[in-house]
Amino acid sequence: MHPSFGQHGPASLFKTIQPTTDFDQRFYYVPGEIQNVWGYRVGVLINDRYKLGIGGYYMNKSDEIDAQSATLSGISGAGFTLHKKLYLGTVYYEPYLLRRKLWETSLVFETGYGRSVHYNVYDSIGKVGSESNSMIIPAGAGLSINFKLPAIFHLQGFRWVGINIMGGYRTTIYHQDKGYDYNGAYWSLSGAVFLDRMVEDLRSWKKERQTARNKKAIELHY
Protein backbone atom coordinates (compact mmCIF):
# COMPACT_ATOMS: atom_id res chain seq x y z
CA MET A 1 0.00 0.00 0.00
CA HIS A 2 1.25 3.49 -0.83
CA PRO A 3 2.21 5.25 2.42
CA SER A 4 0.13 8.35 1.59
CA PHE A 5 -3.03 6.43 0.69
CA GLY A 6 -4.53 6.83 4.15
CA GLN A 7 -4.13 10.62 3.98
CA HIS A 8 -5.04 11.31 0.38
CA GLY A 9 -7.05 8.29 -0.73
CA PRO A 10 -10.81 7.84 -1.23
CA ALA A 11 -11.47 7.69 2.53
CA SER A 12 -10.14 11.23 2.99
CA LEU A 13 -12.13 12.53 0.01
CA PHE A 14 -15.47 11.24 1.36
CA LYS A 15 -15.29 11.69 5.12
CA THR A 16 -19.03 12.29 5.52
CA ILE A 17 -21.86 11.50 3.10
CA GLN A 18 -25.45 12.45 3.86
CA PRO A 19 -28.64 12.33 1.76
CA THR A 20 -30.11 15.52 0.36
CA THR A 21 -33.26 16.45 -1.55
CA ASP A 22 -34.78 19.59 -3.08
CA PHE A 23 -38.09 20.64 -4.62
CA ASP A 24 -37.40 22.60 -7.77
CA GLN A 25 -40.17 24.63 -9.42
CA ARG A 26 -38.61 26.90 -12.02
CA PHE A 27 -39.87 29.77 -14.16
CA TYR A 28 -37.93 30.15 -17.41
CA TYR A 29 -37.84 33.35 -19.46
CA VAL A 30 -37.59 32.29 -23.10
CA PRO A 31 -38.28 34.49 -26.16
CA GLY A 32 -41.91 35.62 -26.03
CA GLU A 33 -43.10 33.67 -22.97
CA ILE A 34 -42.54 32.32 -19.46
CA GLN A 35 -42.41 28.56 -18.95
CA ASN A 36 -43.22 26.83 -15.67
CA VAL A 37 -41.15 23.68 -15.11
CA TRP A 38 -41.71 21.32 -12.17
CA GLY A 39 -38.80 19.34 -10.81
CA TYR A 40 -37.26 17.38 -7.97
CA ARG A 41 -33.65 16.66 -7.06
CA VAL A 42 -32.05 13.95 -4.91
CA GLY A 43 -28.39 13.45 -4.13
CA VAL A 44 -25.72 13.34 -1.46
CA LEU A 45 -23.98 16.02 0.59
CA ILE A 46 -20.25 15.22 0.72
CA ASN A 47 -18.01 16.49 3.54
CA ASP A 48 -20.56 19.30 4.18
CA ARG A 49 -18.99 21.08 1.20
CA TYR A 50 -20.80 20.10 -2.00
CA LYS A 51 -23.73 18.12 -3.39
CA LEU A 52 -23.82 15.57 -6.20
CA GLY A 53 -27.09 14.20 -7.51
CA ILE A 54 -29.73 13.76 -10.17
CA GLY A 55 -32.90 15.68 -11.02
CA GLY A 56 -36.09 15.17 -12.97
CA TYR A 57 -38.12 17.95 -14.64
CA TYR A 58 -41.45 18.19 -16.43
CA MET A 59 -43.25 20.92 -18.36
CA ASN A 60 -46.74 20.81 -19.91
CA LYS A 61 -47.84 24.00 -21.63
CA SER A 62 -50.67 24.81 -24.05
CA ASP A 63 -50.97 27.96 -26.20
CA GLU A 64 -54.10 28.99 -28.12
CA ILE A 65 -53.24 30.08 -31.67
CA ASP A 66 -56.04 31.95 -33.46
CA ALA A 67 -56.74 31.61 -37.20
CA GLN A 68 -55.05 34.92 -38.08
CA SER A 69 -51.87 34.07 -36.19
CA ALA A 70 -51.89 30.61 -37.74
CA THR A 71 -52.08 32.13 -41.22
CA LEU A 72 -49.23 34.55 -40.44
CA SER A 73 -47.19 31.55 -39.29
CA GLY A 74 -47.74 29.86 -42.65
CA ILE A 75 -50.38 27.41 -41.41
CA SER A 76 -53.64 27.59 -43.30
CA GLY A 77 -57.04 26.80 -41.83
CA ALA A 78 -58.66 27.38 -38.45
CA GLY A 79 -56.89 28.16 -35.24
CA PHE A 80 -55.31 25.45 -33.14
CA THR A 81 -53.88 24.70 -29.70
CA LEU A 82 -50.12 24.19 -29.55
CA HIS A 83 -49.12 21.71 -26.84
CA LYS A 84 -45.53 21.70 -25.60
CA LYS A 85 -44.13 19.10 -23.23
CA LEU A 86 -40.63 18.77 -21.86
CA TYR A 87 -39.12 15.80 -20.02
CA LEU A 88 -35.61 16.20 -18.60
CA GLY A 89 -33.27 14.09 -16.50
CA THR A 90 -30.20 15.91 -15.17
CA VAL A 91 -27.04 15.43 -13.12
CA TYR A 92 -25.84 18.30 -10.98
CA TYR A 93 -22.83 19.49 -9.00
CA GLU A 94 -23.45 22.06 -6.25
CA PRO A 95 -20.47 23.46 -4.28
CA TYR A 96 -21.25 25.65 -1.27
CA LEU A 97 -19.95 29.20 -1.11
CA LEU A 98 -21.08 29.94 2.46
CA ARG A 99 -22.85 27.89 5.13
CA ARG A 100 -24.37 29.51 8.20
CA LYS A 101 -26.73 28.26 10.88
CA LEU A 102 -29.86 29.79 9.33
CA TRP A 103 -28.85 30.26 5.69
CA GLU A 104 -26.48 28.96 3.04
CA THR A 105 -25.60 29.78 -0.55
CA SER A 106 -24.19 27.61 -3.33
CA LEU A 107 -23.55 27.41 -7.06
CA VAL A 108 -25.49 24.89 -9.16
CA PHE A 109 -24.07 23.38 -12.37
CA GLU A 110 -26.15 20.86 -14.31
CA THR A 111 -26.57 19.06 -17.59
CA GLY A 112 -28.63 16.13 -18.76
CA TYR A 113 -30.83 14.57 -21.42
CA GLY A 114 -34.48 14.90 -22.31
CA ARG A 115 -37.28 14.88 -24.87
CA SER A 116 -39.16 17.85 -26.30
CA VAL A 117 -42.68 17.05 -27.55
CA HIS A 118 -44.82 19.43 -29.65
CA TYR A 119 -48.13 18.85 -31.37
CA ASN A 120 -51.13 20.83 -32.64
CA VAL A 121 -54.82 20.15 -32.01
CA TYR A 122 -57.01 21.93 -34.56
CA ASP A 123 -60.08 23.53 -32.98
CA SER A 124 -62.49 22.96 -35.83
CA ILE A 125 -62.15 19.19 -36.10
CA GLY A 126 -60.10 18.22 -33.03
CA LYS A 127 -57.47 16.65 -35.26
CA VAL A 128 -53.92 16.21 -34.00
CA GLY A 129 -51.20 17.20 -36.43
CA SER A 130 -47.62 18.40 -36.79
CA GLU A 131 -46.37 16.20 -33.98
CA SER A 132 -42.65 16.13 -33.12
CA ASN A 133 -40.66 14.30 -30.44
CA SER A 134 -37.04 15.41 -30.40
CA MET A 135 -33.96 14.94 -28.25
CA ILE A 136 -32.68 17.85 -26.16
CA ILE A 137 -29.45 18.23 -24.17
CA PRO A 138 -29.59 21.19 -21.74
CA ALA A 139 -26.96 22.77 -19.52
CA GLY A 140 -27.28 25.43 -16.88
CA ALA A 141 -25.66 27.35 -14.05
CA GLY A 142 -27.22 29.24 -11.17
CA LEU A 143 -26.95 30.63 -7.66
CA SER A 144 -29.00 29.00 -4.88
CA ILE A 145 -29.84 30.39 -1.42
CA ASN A 146 -31.47 28.34 1.35
CA PHE A 147 -33.15 29.92 4.36
CA LYS A 148 -33.44 27.51 7.31
CA LEU A 149 -35.83 27.56 10.23
CA PRO A 150 -34.56 27.28 13.83
CA ALA A 151 -35.91 24.76 16.34
CA ILE A 152 -39.09 26.71 17.23
CA PHE A 153 -40.40 25.91 20.75
CA HIS A 154 -37.53 23.40 20.99
CA LEU A 155 -39.14 21.26 18.26
CA GLN A 156 -36.31 19.95 16.10
CA GLY A 157 -38.64 19.14 13.21
CA PHE A 158 -38.78 22.82 12.25
CA ARG A 159 -35.03 22.63 11.50
CA TRP A 160 -35.71 20.18 8.72
CA VAL A 161 -37.59 22.59 6.44
CA GLY A 162 -37.06 26.02 4.90
CA ILE A 163 -37.23 28.05 1.70
CA ASN A 164 -35.04 27.87 -1.40
CA ILE A 165 -34.49 30.73 -3.88
CA MET A 166 -32.53 30.13 -7.07
CA GLY A 167 -31.67 32.10 -10.19
CA GLY A 168 -29.58 31.26 -13.22
CA TYR A 169 -29.43 30.61 -16.96
CA ARG A 170 -30.21 27.54 -19.04
CA THR A 171 -28.88 26.93 -22.53
CA THR A 172 -29.46 24.13 -25.01
CA ILE A 173 -26.29 22.34 -26.05
CA TYR A 174 -28.19 20.32 -28.66
CA HIS A 175 -31.81 20.17 -29.82
CA GLN A 176 -33.02 18.17 -32.81
CA ASP A 177 -35.99 20.48 -33.35
CA LYS A 178 -34.50 23.86 -34.29
CA GLY A 179 -37.92 25.52 -34.39
CA TYR A 180 -38.15 25.96 -30.61
CA ASP A 181 -35.84 27.95 -28.36
CA TYR A 182 -35.40 26.84 -24.74
CA ASN A 183 -32.51 29.16 -23.91
CA GLY A 184 -33.13 31.74 -21.21
CA ALA A 185 -32.80 32.94 -17.63
CA TYR A 186 -34.79 31.30 -14.83
CA TRP A 187 -35.76 31.82 -11.22
CA SER A 188 -37.16 29.45 -8.63
CA LEU A 189 -38.95 29.79 -5.29
CA SER A 190 -39.88 26.59 -3.46
CA GLY A 191 -39.90 24.77 -0.17
CA ALA A 192 -36.77 22.99 0.99
CA VAL A 193 -36.26 19.81 3.02
CA PHE A 194 -32.87 19.45 4.73
CA LEU A 195 -32.27 15.72 5.02
CA ASP A 196 -28.74 16.37 6.30
CA ARG A 197 -30.18 18.19 9.33
CA MET A 198 -32.68 15.39 9.84
CA VAL A 199 -29.92 12.75 9.79
CA GLU A 200 -27.80 14.92 12.11
CA ASP A 201 -30.63 15.23 14.66
CA LEU A 202 -31.47 11.50 14.49
CA ARG A 203 -27.82 10.59 15.05
CA SER A 204 -27.61 13.01 17.97
CA TRP A 205 -30.82 11.58 19.47
CA LYS A 206 -29.50 8.03 19.06
CA LYS A 207 -26.19 8.99 20.68
CA GLU A 208 -27.99 10.63 23.63
CA ARG A 209 -30.11 7.50 24.16
CA GLN A 210 -27.02 5.28 24.08
CA THR A 211 -25.25 7.56 26.57
CA ALA A 212 -28.30 7.41 28.87
CA ARG A 213 -28.34 3.59 28.65
CA ASN A 214 -24.63 3.37 29.46
CA LYS A 215 -25.04 5.71 32.42
CA LYS A 216 -27.97 3.69 33.77
CA ALA A 217 -26.02 0.43 33.34
CA ILE A 218 -23.09 1.88 35.32
CA GLU A 219 -25.43 3.05 38.10
CA LEU A 220 -27.06 -0.39 38.33
CA HIS A 221 -23.65 -2.06 38.39
CA TYR A 222 -22.57 -0.03 41.40
Q: For all residues of the chain together, what is the average pLDDT?
A: 84
Do the domain assignments include residue 143? yes
Q: Which residues of the chain carry a pLDDT beneath 70?
A: 1-14, 66-79, 123-130, 219, 221-222
Instruction: State which residues form the domain around 104.
Output: 15-221
Residue 6 lies in a domain: no
Predicted confidence at residue 16, as pLDDT, reads: 87
Q: Note whether residue 45 is domain-resident.
A: yes
In a domain, 115, yes or no: yes
Q: Is residue 163 part of a domain?
A: yes
The predicted structure's pLDDT at residue 97: 97
Listing DSSP states for the chain in one string gives --TTHHHHSHHHH-S-EEEEEEE--EEEEETTEEEEEEEEEEEEEETTTEEEEEEEEEEEEEEEE-HHHHHHTT--SS-EEEEEEEEEEEEEEEEEEEE-SSEEEEEEEEEEEEEEEEEEEETTT--EEEEEEEEEEEEEEEEEEEEE---GGG-GGGGGEEEEEEEEEEEEEEES-TT----EEEEEEEEEE-HHHHHHHHHHHHHHHHHHHHHHHHHHH-
Total domain count, the chain: 1
Q: What is the pLDDT of residues 51-80, one digit of tens each?
A: 999 999 999 988 877 655 555 455 555 667
**Has residue 180 been placed in a domain?**
yes
Q: What is the pLDDT of residue 50?
A: 94
| Domain containing residue 85: CATH number | 2.40.160.20
Q: What confidence score (pLDDT) does residue 209 get?
A: 83
- 106, part of any domain: yes
- What is the reported pLDDT for 65? 72
Residue 10 domain flag:
no
